[in-house]
Amino acid sequence: MTTDMLSIEGVSKNFGGLSVISEVSFSVPEGGRVALIGPNGAGKTTMFNLVSGVYRQTAGAIRLRGHDISNVPSRKRVRLGMARSFQNIRLMPHLSVIENVMLGQQARTKSLADMAMPLSGSRWRREAETLLGEMGLDTYPGEVVATLPYGIRKKIEVVRALAAQPQLLLLDEPAAGLNQTETASLRDFLMGISRRGVTLLVVEHDMGLVRSLCDHAVVLNFGRKIYEGSTQTVHEDPLVLEAYLGPRHNVAQGAVTNNGVAGDAA
């Protein structure tokens, strides 16, 4: 029997009188790779902020491995097994690769005294070096992050999130700004993380990456779920096509491109 790593149960989010997320429900199975997609303004980032604890939902419940975390602060969610990367790289550019990874270990500390340990403790450094080696980035530990190629920095940010030892990893547009070669390399990199047993929930516009990485998709539009199912058939759904292309389009006119659901001969 498959266990759900994450369960979103009738979640809504209002900002004042504006409804941004409306009664959305879906689940992410343990060990799964699920894409959360939709056109710009669909509510994807808001949903990520709700899951990670940046925002508090107006209604509904969020469960991590069956435990209600709806009112758990963001930092404590990390300790419970959740980590996140961001669309815009948030590494410390003036620090080395290994120092950035060691900063990710601080999420596991429990006191102010412990927080200083990852940057000075030899055990933490050895652990960070091992993680970089396992992820194929062991040639960069002493390099200053700002000097590295963009694609490498994207991977390092994911490794920093892994330093928190998450069971669930939220990836916010990991391929943003990458070329096709870098995106293919990132896909293999993320598949390697999945094989380590980490569950992935991915917000991404690159449908080529979505189809090759994820086997399940949830589509939002105007804060509502309009599709849940296979990534291989998402482009055939009339509601998805309408969300991306407008109501005058149909399945015959639509096609999935690498940049999203698109296609119009006119």
CA-angle at 107, arms to 106 and 108, nearest 5°: 85
Measured distance CA(142)–CA(125) in Å, rounded = 12
Q: Are residues 187 and 231 in the same domain?
A: yes
Number of domains in the chain: 2
Instruction: Enter the tokens of residue 156.
Output: 């390092």
Q: Are residues 149 and 44 in the same domain?
A: no
Q: What is the mean pLDDT of residues 3-10?
A: 96
Residue 171 has pLDDT above 80, yes or no: yes
Measured distance CA(33)–CA(194) in Å, rounded = 8
Q: Are residues 170 and 154 in the same domain?
A: no
Q: What is the pLDDT of residue 262?
A: 46
Residue 194 has pLDDT above 90, yes or no: yes
Q: Are residues 53 and 175 in the same domain?
A: yes
Q: Are residues 191 and 252 in the same domain?
A: yes
Domain end marker among 163, 187, 207: 163
Residue 1 has pLDDT above 90, yes or no: no
Q: Are residues 184 and 258 in the same domain?
A: yes
Q: Are residues 66 and 192 in the same domain?
A: yes
Look at the block and give the residue holding tokens 């698109």.
262
N- to C-terminal Cα separation, the chain: 48
Q: Are residues 174 and 77 in the same domain?
A: yes
Q: Is the dihedral of CA 87, 91, 96, 100 positive or negative?
A: negative
Q: In which domain, by residue range, is 171 found?
A: 1-81+166-266
Q: Are residues 182 and 149 in the same domain?
A: no
Q: Are residues 143 and 171 in the same domain?
A: no
Q: Are residues 64 and 10 in the same domain?
A: yes
Domain end marker among 117, 138, 163: 163
Percent of the chain having pLDDT more than 90?
Answer: 55
Q: What is the mean pLDDT of residues 110-128?
A: 66
Model confidence at 249, pLDDT cuts 50, 70, 90, reads low
Measured distance CA(229)–CA(236) in Å, rounded = 11
Q: Are residues 262 and 186 in the same domain?
A: yes
By mean pLDDT, which of 95-99, 100-104, 110-114, 235-239 is the weakest?
110-114
Residue 37 has pLDDT above 80, yes or no: yes
Q: Residue 238 sits in a domain of what CATH number?
A: 3.40.50.300
Model confidence at 103, pLDDT cuts 50, 70, 90, reads confident
Arithmetic mean of pLDDT over the chain: 86
Domain end marker among 163, 180, 215: 163
